[in-house]
Amino acid sequence: MGGTGKTPLVDFVIKHYTSRGLKTAILSRGYKRKSRGVQLVSDDRQILLGSREAGDECAMLAQNNPGTIVVVAEIRKDGTDFIEQRFAGKLPDVVVLDDGFQHRQLYRDLDIVIINSRAPFIDDRLIPAGGLREPGKNLDRADLLILSKVTDPQQSGRLEDELRTTGKPLVKTGIRAGKPVLFAGPESPAPKRVIGMAGIGQPESFVDSLQTNGMEVVSHAFFPDHADFPLKSMKSLASKALRESLSIITTEKDYFRLSSNRPVLEAISRVPCYYLPVEIEIIEGRKLLEQMLDQAVS
């Protein structure tokens, strides 16, 4: 139900195809956006919508992949119909469907399912009792499995063994963090003592990334995935950071949501505020992944 690392993988896939000279498009639901129906987020020349209308993930993907068409639509078939009509003169070579395993109306050339190594599905149950959208047996429909957020190969061994019994190709990935980016507040050296703030699925992995990159996480504030940040809570966090000489650091996805909320942005700008960019890191199976991506469009 979230936190598996779908968005970094979509970014990796788009950049792979772009490096091959292919014209790319992303089609997503645009979860928690304030708009409805089919919306064009980026027409491959300019970004037309921000995070409120597009959703934070799509706004981030559009910003980080100039030249890629980005469309949001609750009904994905309506989205592909729109792309075919709007870009009839120059159709994209490949459309990457973000979070589309359940959408039976659309044929896919390649179905990739991501499993979070930190939240094994083996003992989980279907929603609402657990966090699974489908039973584990439905992995039979997948073409490729990706075990994500692997930090300790031994710790994920049982899950890896279970996945290999499916007979599906398996790729193992981790998350690599970049340098923190200052987006609000006074100029300051790289953050050392921080408040970690996140509104994502599985936010504990974000705290791990901060600690792995040498930051002391004095405290953290977690909010529901894609949720708006409450102004009162943000003022309280900023006051704590000011009193204790801390920086506030959040995820890149959360930054895009924050950037469109001026009252919240002003409230936290009394202290240095950063976001931590991340990208997918292929631990095992890069050649396999790239081959399967290339075969899908050959």
Structural domains of the chain ordered from first start: 1-102 (no CATH), 109-176+280-298 (no CATH), 179-276 (3.40.50)
For residue 127, what pLDDT is reported?
A: 87
List the single range of 155-164, 214-223, 247-256 with lowest mean pLDDT.
155-164
Q: Please state, rounded to an integer, the average pLDDT across all residues of the chain.
A: 92
Task: Say whether pLDDT at 76 is over 80.
Answer: yes
- ∠37-14-150 over CA atoms, to 5°? 105
Averaged over 2-19, what is the pLDDT? 93
Percentage, residues of the chain above pLDDT 90 = 71
For residue 62, what pLDDT is reported?
A: 96
Which three-class secondary structure state does DSSP give residue 3? coil
Task: Specify the residue for token string 């950063």.
Answer: 274
| Cis amide prior to 189 (ω within 30 degrees) | no
Tens-place pLDDT, residues 222-281: 998 877 889 999 999 999 999 999 999 999 999 998 988 899 999 999 999 999 999 999
Task: Say whether pLDDT at 93 is over 90.
Answer: yes
**Cα distance between residue 245 and residue 247, in whole Å:** 7
Averaged over 138-151, what is the pLDDT? 94
Q: How confident is the model at residue 189 (pLDDT cuts 50, 70, 90)?
A: confident
Averaged over 205-226, what is the pLDDT? 90
Q: How confident is the model at residue 166 (pLDDT cuts 50, 70, 90)?
A: very high
| In contact, 279 and 12? CB cutoff 8 Å | yes
